[in-house]
Copies of this chain bind each other. A is one copy, B any other.
Amino acid sequence: MKENKSKYAILGILSLGPMSGYDIKKMFQKSVAKFWNESYGQIYPILNRLVAQGLATRSVEKQEGRPNRHVYALTDKGREELQRWLIAPVEPQIGRIEIALKLFFGQQVSVLDNIRQVEHFREIQHRELEELKALEEHVKVEKAGNPNLPYWLMTVKYGHQVTSALIQWCDETLSALNKMTAKKKQKKEATRKR
């Protein structure tokens, strides 16, 4: 029962309307890019499989001077397959979190090095939060009345919530790291006086 997630991601995008592989890539970019993405190397082969499995249909729009557009549309079977996946409970994910791994080995470098690392990470999260705020406003206006809107806002809030928590964590961690440098200095001075 090993399921290929990319397949469902693409089925999901197709649930928003018929599209070409090129469109799908763009759609990933401007919708779920914050928490999911697919490359052409995945998209095109999977689209072929979807058609072979009867989960999508392909219709060809002839064009001159550029490759014909292959437009894919979900079939009923495809929609059912998507729905089955959507209601299947998610399993706990063990993502790879680089900043945590680096900090775990923080002893191997100076406290200042760790401070720099966390400060840099904090900046990334800060930018991310600004982007999410802008995205939220943009979506609210752009997609007003769209039945998907409430769900889209929930995913934006997911990012918002996590990112804010990370910024808070950065602040706490930085303050802990700063205390560590302070203690070191005290120790050094105490040693000097002896």
Contacts from A to B (Cβ < 8 Å): 5, 8-9, 12, 15, 31-37, 79, 82-83, 85-87, 89-90, 92-109, 113-114, 116-117, 120-121, 124, 128, 147-148, 150-152, 154-155, 157-159, 161-162, 164-166, 168-169, 172-173, 176, 180
Copies in the complex: 2
Cα–Cα distance between A89 and B157 once the two chains are bound (Å): 27
The 8 closest A-B pairs by CB, nearest first: A165-B165, A106-B151, A35-B97, A161-B169, A12-B105, A35-B100, A89-B120, A100-B155
CB–CB A86/B109 < 8 A: yes
- A108 touching B86 in the complex, CB below 8 Å, given contacts A158-B100, A168-B161: yes
Chain B nearest CB from A177 CB (Å) reads: 8
Residue in B107, B121, B152 whose beta carbon sits within 8 Å of that of A104 in the complex: B152
Q: A150 vs B86: C-alpha distance in the bound complex, in angstroms? A: 41
When the two chains form the complex, which single residue of B12, B35, B151 contacts A96, counting CB atoms closer than 8 Å?
B35
Bound: A154/B100 CA distance, A: 8
**Is there an interface contact between A82 and B99, defined as CB atoms closer than 8 Å?**
no
Q: Can you list 6 A-B contacts with CB-CB less than 8 angstroms, sorted by A residue number?
A: A82-B108, A90-B121, A97-B158, A157-B172, A161-B172, A162-B165
Please determine whether A176 and B150 come into contact, CB atoms closer than 8 angstroms: yes
B97 & A82 in contact (Cβ 8 Å cutoff) = no
Query: B157 touching A173 by the CB < 8 A rule?
Result: yes
Beyond A106-B151, A148-B107, whether A157 also contacts B180 by CB under 8 A is no
Q: Cβ of A89 and Cβ of B117 under 8 Å apart?
A: yes
Partner of A108, one of B31, B79, B103, B114: B79
CB distance from A4 to the nearest CB of B (A): 12
